[in-house]
Amino acid sequence: MNTEEILRKLPYSPPFLFVDNLLSVDENGVTGNFTFKDNLDFYKGHFKNNPVTPGVILTEMMAQIGLVCLGIYLVGNDLTEESQIGLTSTEIEFLKPVFPNEKVTVISEKIYFRFNKLKCKVKMLNQKSEIVCEGTIAGIIKIS
């Protein structure tokens, strides 16, 4: 399965799609990026006169790229429109802010994938290749 096929199978759409493209994917991990455009709604109130991307959105981006895209790749053609992917746990440490119009890259490494549970070590880098946040994310893929 190539990166374009993975992107088409994502169960998200704007304004809740946080994947612009995938740079690489294989059975051990995935790398992708997203640019947080300044017109996204959450910037209107987080924070007044000093917009910063909320940590929950950064976590969601890491889950979409690092867990869901990799999960779609690993499951391959067994994934149907009725299949479900659910987040089961996260442990993320936030180190730097992400500002409007900033492009960030997520790098995910598979820790394990068994019994349809996927756990990954993820990190997000800014354009200076500094770590913005890092940790682990796990989820379950229900094949229908």
Q: Which residues does the annotation mark as catalytic?
A: 46
* Neighbour count for residue 131 (Cβ, 10 Å): 13
Alpha carbon 111 to its chain's center:
16
Q: What is the DSSP letter of 48?
A: T
CA torsion 90→93→98→103, rounded to 10°? Answer: -60
Residue 42 DSSP symbol = G
